[in-house]
A and B are shown apart, each in its own frame.
Chain A
Amino acid sequence: MNKDLIKANIIDIRNPKSLSTSKMLVDSNILYFCYYDRFQDLEFIDRAPKKYQLIEYPKYYEIMLSSKIELFIHKISIIEFVKTVIEAEMQIAYCKSDPTLNLDNYKPKYFRVNNPQTYYSVQQNILTYLASIKKTFKMIGCDEKDITLDMCLSDFYLTWQKTLADPNEAIMIADANKLGICSVFSDDFDIATFKSINFYTANRKVV
């Protein structure tokens, strides 16, 4: 790898020196390694994180928590975490339905639309993970003053549950609704699964 590309100051967390920061922005993959729990199932389909990721990151996260530094998460990272968990959960569910466990045949959107109850169940599980996460973090990436992570996640989840949409579509719709925008112009079938939306489309599955 071309080392000239590395511009950041690198701290190897495997040999942590004392933390010299009072504020840390935490990325979505850390949430995944610490808060998601089905890696043994993912191992069977060759989709599990690497061993060092599951050992080193929870360990360092614990060190940060004990050091009482402020932990921040961006709204986008929450959505990324949700998307990663969805991908994992739906792949696991797909492999249960296909005895050959051949993910080459897996089509995410097709599987989701044809197994909505599975997707709704995954949404419920994600609510549990998010409830744990919001105990620890402060949120950034929101223009509104005084909005808490709890409020943001509540709006997002209320909009997202019982739809077949990606979480980024849900946060888009939730933010739009807050501004009184209820009409959406798109070709994405998933938008049709939101309640109280005027969906302007020529999507053949819907019109």
Chain B
Amino acid sequence: MSTNTAVVEMLKYYGEHCVSLYKGNDLFNKIIKMLEENSNIVLDFKNVLTITSSFLNASIAKLYGQFEEAYFLNKIKYLNLDETDTQLLNLVIKNAKEHFSKSPDVRKLENKIVEDTINKKLDE
């Protein structure tokens, strides 16, 4: 099995500021492709000045809805994140895990409640 390491220089692909959803989605798709190729992934944030939750949600957090954590946890490493950005990443991951850990039955109930709420609003 291939165990090559793919390094994503975030500055090169996304610039100094990683904020928008479209950049986050692009990174997400990149990661999916590399995981399918069985690569180990290094996300290098050297010289990236801004990282926000909006970007991390569209990229890293979404992985937790797509796969079991065990599948990709040891395959992705983060380089050159300062303490603030590391804490933000950890918080986004923690919240994503909590969100996607809900069972299908709970999600079904929640979806029904959302639907009922929307229908109630339409009737008003």
Binding site for B on A (CB under 8 A): 33-41, 43-46, 54-55, 58-59, 61-62, 65-66, 99-101, 125, 128-129, 131-132, 135-136
Give every chain B residue within 8 A of A66 (Cβ-Cβ). 15-17
Give every chain A residue within 8 A of B53 (Cβ-Cβ). 34-37, 129, 132
Most buried by B among A37, A38, A125, A136: A37
B26 in the interface, Cβ–Cβ < 8 Å?
Answer: no
- Across the interface, do A132 and B16 meet the contact criterion of CB distance under 8 Å? no
- Across the interface, do B88 and A129 meet the contact criterion of CB distance under 8 Å? yes
Q: Which bucket holds chain B's interface residue count?
A: 20 to 34
- In the assembled complex, 23 residue pairs joining A and B whose CB atoms fall closer than 8 Å, in A order, are A34-B19, A35-B52, A35-B54, A36-B53, A37-B53, A38-B95, A41-B99, A44-B111, A44-B114, A45-B113, A46-B117, A54-B54, A61-B20, A66-B15, A99-B109, A128-B87, A128-B88, A128-B91, A131-B84, A131-B87, A132-B51, A132-B52, A135-B84
Give every chain A residue within 8 A of B111 (Cβ-Cβ). 44
Main secondary structure of the interface of A (DSSP, over half): helix
Main secondary structure of the interface of B (DSSP, over half): helix
Known contacts A59-B22, A66-B15; A44/B54 CB under 8 A: no
Binding site for A on B (CB under 8 A): 15-17, 19-23, 49-57, 61, 84-85, 87-88, 91-92, 95, 99, 109-111, 113-114, 117-118
Give every chain B residue within 8 A of A131 (Cβ-Cβ). 84, 87-88
- Across the interface, do B19 and A61 meet the contact criterion of CB distance under 8 Å? yes
In the complex, which residue of chain B has the Cβ closest to the Cβ of A134?
B84
Taken together as a complex, chains A and B put the C-alpha atoms of A45 and B57 apart, in Å, by 19
Closest 9 CB pairs of A and B: A37-B53, A62-B19, A58-B54, A65-B17, A44-B110, A59-B20, A131-B84, A46-B117, A34-B52
Taken together as a complex, chains A and B put the C-alpha atoms of A58 and B21 apart, in Å, by 7
Known contacts A34-B52, A41-B99; A132/B117 CB under 8 A: no
Give every chain A residue within 8 A of B88 (Cβ-Cβ). 128-129, 131-132
How far, in Å, is A62 (CB) from chain B's closest CB? 4
Give every chain A residue within 8 A of B113 (Cβ-Cβ). 44-45, 100-101
- Across the interface, do B85 and A132 meet the contact criterion of CB distance under 8 Å? yes
Give every chain B residue within 8 A of A36 (Cβ-Cβ). 53
Give every chain B residue within 8 A of A55 (Cβ-Cβ). 21
